[in-house]
């Protein structure tokens, strides 16, 4: 289950660190969900509108997914079966890229590539079936 939370709120509420993914380009620029820092700065300066940022960021996430789907799949796996996963950053006001990232991940969760990935994982977890050898019956008579 994906949640969005500011890093300040996550710190205040004492959320377990392994349940938090900080997607801030200032604090975790290498995260697969972190947008380029200069995009957020341009947005804050009013150099382009939120809808343009939204479209541009979604295109970036699509490209990153094509390049390394496993990084996205691991985030989805971490939030399966009611396990909480919090997307955090330090955005202070207005719209935040966490919203777009969560939407992208939830859409991805319902699509075929992730469903095939889950099926493959499930198949790997099945116990091996050992073929039975025929048993010779011995008669007592």
pLDDT per residue as tens digits for the range 69-93: 999 999 999 998 888 999 998 876 6
Q: Which helix H or strand E contains 77, and what residues bound it?
A: helix 69-78
Highest-pLDDT range among 23-37, 92-106, 125-139? 23-37
40: nearest Cα among 29, 63, 72, 32: 29
């Amino acid at each position: 289950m994906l949640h969005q939370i500011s890093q300040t709120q996550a710190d205040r509420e004492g959320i377990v660190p392994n349940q938090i993914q900080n997607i801030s380009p200032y604090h975790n620029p290498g995260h697969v969900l972190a947008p380029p820092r200069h995009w957020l700065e341009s947005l804050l300066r009013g150099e382009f509108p939120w809808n343009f940022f939204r479209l541009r960021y979604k295109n970036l996430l699509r490209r990153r997914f094509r390049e390394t789907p496993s990084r996205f799949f691991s985030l989805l796996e971490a939030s399966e079966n009611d396990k909480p996963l919090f997307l955090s950053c330090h955005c202070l006001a207005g719209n935040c890229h966490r919203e777009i990232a969560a939407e992208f991940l939830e859409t991805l969760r319902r699509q075929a590539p992730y469903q095939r990935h889950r099926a493959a994982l499930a198949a790997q977890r099945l116990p091996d079936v050992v073929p039975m050898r025929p048993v010779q019956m011995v008669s007592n008579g």
